[in-house]
Amino acid sequence: MKLSTKQLVQTALLLAICIASQFFKNLSVYITGPIVNATIIIAVLAAGLWSGLFISAVAPITAFFISGSPIMAAIPLMFPAVIGGNVILALCTWYFQNKFHFRRRLPAGLVLGSLLKAAFMGIVIVLILLPLFGSDIASRLPKPEALPMVLSTARITFSVTQLITALTGSILAFLIWLPLQKFLEKGDLAA
């Protein structure tokens, strides 16, 4: 697999947008999450599957270093779970856009990718990792007695919130992609 200079530049630009948005994570996950999901989707559409997969893998790692998370620190297995959710979104986007030929294939792929991402993360994180390792989080909290509330919030964050932010990011990416696709097809961003 060889990426062109144009694909590398597009990937780097989208990764920079993704990382910049992560500085707002403490402000609201409903700002950061959609932007991260949109950058993954646009990376797949504009620069190819490998670009989207790269951002899918890097985003949770940079988010951890930027904003920190006692949950992720206490349960390192959550990193591959979050990466897996992102990869599912990227793969659904790519597969529907490149392997199907019906009119609304991209919106269908984005919706299915969002649903599968949230379901995957809900099953792996909420139903498996948190019950197995949730007590490990207490030692990383300033107030260990807050553990039940932290776990309750984590259950929502890694299921329902993931669905909302993935769907919102999909809408954002779709709205950006409509004019961007025409712009890229004209060759106006030749590298």
**Assigned CATH for 5-185:** 1.10.1760.20
Give the separation between CA 117 and CA 81, rounded to whole angstroms. Answer: 10
Question: Where exactly are the structural domains of the chain?
Answer: 5-185
**Banded model confidence at residue 155, pLDDT cuts 50, 70, 90:** very high
**Looking up tokens 């793969």, which residue turns up?**
91
**Percent of the chain beyond pLDDT 90?**
66
Q: Count of CB atoms within 10 A of residue 120's CB?
A: 19
Give per-residue pLDDT as tens, 105-121: 999 999 999 999 999 99
> What pTM was computed for the model?
0.91
Which stretches within the chain are classed as H helix? 5-22, 29-47, 49-67, 70-74, 78-99, 105-121, 130-133, 147-157, 160-185
Q: Count of CB atoms within 10 A of residue 159's CB?
A: 18
